[in-house]
Amino acid sequence: MPGATVPELTDASIPRFAAGCRWGGTTEAPVVLFPEGAIRVEGTGRIILELCDGHFSLAEIVQKLETQFMLAPKGKIRAEVQVFLEQLHAKRIVDY
């Protein structure tokens, strides 16, 4: 859409699946179903998306991951989570 603005992902943003997107597959091999298809998410990506349930802000998600991955350099987790969510937002899989 011409002139449409992309919402900025901030610490207060609360990421969640976009309309029409949901978990599918099996517990062992989950996939994210979206109108154009499905993507498999594993590892950290899966952890991030499981936290994108509409209850946690970006800051809270980052804090939970920093607790889980304490050896990661300061700021690295936030930067990577932000890029990941922005990519999924561009594909209309995540809203915030």
Global pTM value: 0.88
* Domain contains 43: yes
Cross-strand partners of 37? 34
* Domain contains 8: no
How confident is the model at residue 5, as a pLDDT?
A: 67
**In CATH, what number is assigned to the domain containing residue 59?**
1.10.10.1150
> pLDDT per position in the chain (96 positions), as tens?
555 566 899 999 999 999 999 999 998 899 999 999 999 999 999 999 999 999 999 999 999 999 999 999 989 999 999 999 999 999 999 999
How confident is the model at residue 11, as a pLDDT?
A: 96
| Nearest residue to 13 via CA among 75, 91, 78 | 78
How confident is the model at residue 37, as a pLDDT?
A: 94
* Domain contains 22: yes
- The domain total for the chain is 1
d(CA 59, CA 39): 25
Instruction: Residue 90: give the domain boundaries.
Output: 16-95
Contact 71, 64 (CB under 8 A): no
Phi, psi of 47 (to 5 degrees): -60, -45
* Domain contains 7: no
